[in-house]
A = this chain, B = another copy of it.
Amino acid sequence: MASVCSVTPSPAEQEVIEFFTHIGRYLSLPRSVGQIYGLLFAKGEKLTLDDLVQQLGISKGSASQGLRVLRGVGAVRVSHIPGDRKDYFEAETELPTLIRGFLRDQLAVKMEHADERLARLQAAVDDPANAAPDGLSVRVERLQSWHNKARRLVPLVSTFLKM
């Protein structure tokens, strides 16, 4: 049976957890997601789902869903040890890797959505049936230019953060 003491994070670890909870809040992520990444970051070692449930005092459901999100953006890796059925989770702390995951899984899809939406918008403005007010067309082109600029910015930021 595993030791029952220190099942609660130490004060210093608690501070790390709060740090990531607040970061997550800025990114409008659920509190549990910040907590999970925070604990994994603070511990710096592999933990099981049950460890997270016990040490953070959250439900299995929250832990499972939170871990899915974090794996989705490449912020957490899962591994296994032979003869053990548990999943072992570990925080990814390499900034370049984190950035790469974020760009690929979050930003790319949002850019694509914006693409579609801009195309639809363009079509709506050009459709004579919609009687687009004067000057609207010019302003929509400005949106396009914003979007193009943002798109060209991504690789620039990307390379900077890898330095």
Residue positions of A touching B, CB distance < 8 A: 10-13, 15-16, 18-19, 22-23, 26, 28, 41-44, 93, 95, 110, 113-114, 117-118, 120-121, 124-125, 127, 129-133, 135-136, 139-140, 142-143, 145-146, 149, 153, 156-157, 160-161
Contact = CB atoms under 8 A, between A and B. Distances in A.
Contact of A132 (B12, B145, B161): B12
Given A11-B129, A93-B139, 12 more contacts: A11-B124, A11-B130, A12-B121, A13-B132, A19-B117, A19-B121, A19-B143, A23-B114, A42-B136, A153-B157, A153-B160, A156-B156
Nearest to A43: B133
Which applies to chain A's interface (DSSP): helix, strand, loop or mixed? helix
A113 B18 CA distance: 13
A154 to B, nearest CB: 11
Contacts of A43: 133
Contacts of A135: 44
B143 A161 contact: no
Contact of A117 (B22, B28, B110): B22
